[in-house]
Amino acid sequence: MSPGSEQHGLVHAVTFEGDGSGMALAWNEIASSQKPIWIHLDRTSPAAQEWIKGASGLDPHTCEALLQEETRPRVVVGDAGILLILRGVNLNPGSDPEDMISIRCWVEPRRVITLRREKVMAIQDLRDRLTVGKGPIGPADFVVALAGGLVARMSAVVTDIEEVVDDFETRVLENAEKGLRYKLSETRRTTIMLRRYLAPQKDALGQLFGSVCPWLTAVDRSHLREVLDRTARCVEDLDAARERTQIIHEELAARMAEQMNRTMYLVSIVTSVFLPLGLITGLLGINVGGIPGTESHYAFAAVCGLMAVIIVVQVFLFRRMKWL
């Protein structure tokens, strides 16, 4: 990439050669290209934002949608092209997958403009595939390939979540509950965050599949249908994982309540056993005259024997009443 390209916020620009390959272009070569082109920009670059608003030729509403800070997956099909906003899992080092990265696309029959803030692995894959001649052959194929790349990485993350939930279920069955509630809460949070963006992304792809766009061929729609089905499966798997974590959470709560009840029951039994003994020792310990046995050497032994008999009788009664 030339220094001029970096100054304009250009990550890369590549032509679609029509055979799966692409040729890299510098910033000053973009305007003169006679072939379909893919322009990938850094959304945080002021120069890139200025180019989008001015020299790109896009209408103000499209520019605003491409540059706004907060987005949700959606698609808008117009006469000039398709506005497509998708989300992908964040696989950058030091990031959490649920912190999903937004990728904004404007797709025309002969031009694709994409913008991102952080590096998107699916975008890099497309760039690498074009380099070796195995990439998309044009803008329509690019849309399908990008959506497919995003859902492929999403599927891997969802599979990892399912494996974690399976481990939780095994640990609950084995009563290995130490530290499980915190990890379970983290997994539920990840599942909810992923579904928050993946569900509308499924709706957006469904809208694109059902749209009337003449340059989306039957082959493109067939591939897009496959991507849509995979996205729907991811949403269903996330729903299932969320429900399973809820069931595990309820099982943990029930076990904790049962353990607490057993503890309180044991405390109640011990209290019931020692209550009459405490009454006897309390009566004999008051500091007034007339306490029986004060002059007898056998009084202490007699009191201890009496308390032992009381304990035996209580245990017998508790067992008879099935309290023990």
* Average pLDDT rounded to a whole number, residues 47-54: 90
Collect all residues with Cβ–Cβ distance below 8 Å to 315 and sequence separation of at least 6.
273, 324
CB 135 within 8 A of CB 145: yes
Model confidence pLDDT, tens digit, residues 191-204 = 988 888 889 999 99
Local confidence band at 5 (pLDDT 50, 70, 90 cut-offs): low
pLDDT digits (tens, 9 = 90+) for 217-271: 889 889 999 999 999 999 999 999 999 988 888 888 888 888 888 889 888 888 8
Residue 230 half-sphere exposure toward CB, CA atoms < 13 A = 19
> Which residues contact residue 316 at a Cβ distance below 8 angstroms, ignoring those fewer than 6 apart?
none
Pairing state between β 37-42 and 111-116? parallel
Segments in the chain forming alpha helices (H): 3-7, 46-53, 60-67, 121-131, 139-173, 180-209, 218-284, 299-320
Q: Other CB atoms closer than 10 Å to residue 248's CB: what's the count?
A: 20
pLDDT at 318: 81
pTM of the shown model: 0.75
pLDDT category at 177 given cuts 50, 70, 90 is: low
Task: Please give the C-alpha separations between residue 60 and each of 55, 66, 67, 69, 147, in angstroms, as whole numbers.
Answer: 12, 10, 11, 16, 25
| Among candidate residues 253, 245, 303, the one with its CA nearest the CA of residue 278 | 303
| pLDDT band (50, 70, 90) for residue 8 | low
Question: Please, what are the domains in the chain?
Answer: 3-255 (3.30.460.20), 268-320 (1.20.58.340)
